[in-house]
Amino acid sequence: MAYVSIVSSEKGGQGKSSILLQMAGYAGKTKKVLCLELDIQKNLTLILQNTEPRYTIYDVLNSSVSTKEAIMPSVFKGIDYIPGSRKLKGMNVDTTRLTSILDEVQSEYDLIFIDCPANINSLVESAYTMADLVITPMEMELFALSNVTELIETVQSHNSRAEIVLVPNKVGGRSKLNRTVREHLDEMVKHYDNVKIGTELPSSIIISNLLSEGKLLINAMRFNPLKDKLKELYKELYK
Ligand SMILES: Nc1ncnc2c1ncn2[C@@H]1O[C@H](COP(=O)(O)OP(=O)(O)O)[C@@H](O)[C@H]1O
Ligand SMILES: [Mg+2]
């Protein structure tokens, strides 16, 4: 049975798609990985795609094609994916369909990653019910805490067994604001079961520079502090 990770936050630009890609790319070297995109912005799909996909998650959700027909090999080793679609916007989907999609493919993969949009809609809530792990990247900003509290409560109202890992991202070590938010975060997580803070990830522009060349930092040869922390996070989450 595949281990299901949902990457979700209530804000855009926190690093969801980036962290998902790095974790999936590292896993793909030794494991069978499936990525699924629920974000209509299709950032993940655009990076993973080899050729223009014929079918998307939209077609699978409205049962026009089978799940297996929509699965495509990605440009990265060991990673298959189900393409995202702009048509999900405003689509009234039978969200239980998402559950059966995962049921159909769970025996064929070791890890399944689901990339979510920043707005938590019924499809995302349906994904939560299937999660073994919810990864929530967050920048250490003033309003981060209230967003995260709300997300934890939403996840836990749908799934009490999922582990939630908050990942401080783009952290600048010397910033007083970062440290203050971190202290509040440490205090906040004590009030919840199954919630912990993962490895802090520093900011490094190399992550996006390499991606623009179709490369993943976590698999790159070069020395970089963010790369080391991404590996540390991977080991923490998946061993
Ligand atoms: N640790 C990091 N250091 C520097 N830039 C980062 C880091 N993590 C993400 N980014 C950049 O931040 C932007 C938003 O990240 P993205 O993964 O698209 O966020 P989301 O999926 O949450 O909207 C992207 O340009 C990405 O390259
Ligand atoms: Mg994204």
Length of the chain: 239
201 lines ligand 1 (CB under 6 A): yes
Distance CA 17, CA 166 (A): 15
* Tally of domains within the chain: 1
95: pLDDT strictly greater than 80: no
Q: In what order do the strands lie in the sheet with 79-82?
A: 72-73, 79-82, 33-37, 111-115, 3-7, 133-139, 163-169, 195-197
What is the pLDDT, as a whole number, of residue 49? 97
- Best probe residue, ligand 1, of 8, 11, 16, 18 (max atoms within 8 Å of C-beta): 18
- pLDDT at residue 124, as a whole number: 95
**Cα of 201 vs its chain's centroid, Å:** 15
Q: How far apart are CA 201 and CA 124, in angstroms?
A: 25
pLDDT tops 90 at residue 132: yes
- pLDDT for the residue 156: 98
* pLDDT of 173 strictly over 80: no
DSSP state of 171: B
Which residues, chain by chain, have CB under 5 Å from ion ligand 2?
16-17, 43
Element (H, E) at 165: strand 163-169
172 lines ligand 1 (CB under 6 A): no
- 229 close to ligand 1 (CB < 6 Angstrom): no
- Angstrom CA distances, 74 to 1, 46, 48, 213, stand at 21, 10, 5, 15
The predicted pLDDT at position 57 comes to 96
- Give the pLDDT confidence score for residue 15 in this predicted structure: 98
Domain extent, residue 8, equals 3-238
- pLDDT tens, residue by residue, 54-70: 999 999 999 889 999 99
Q: Which residues of 52-87 are buried (b: 16+ CB within 10 A; e: fewer)?
A: ebebbbbbbbeeeeebeebbbebebebbbbbbbbee
Domain CATH number, residue 214: 3.40.50.300
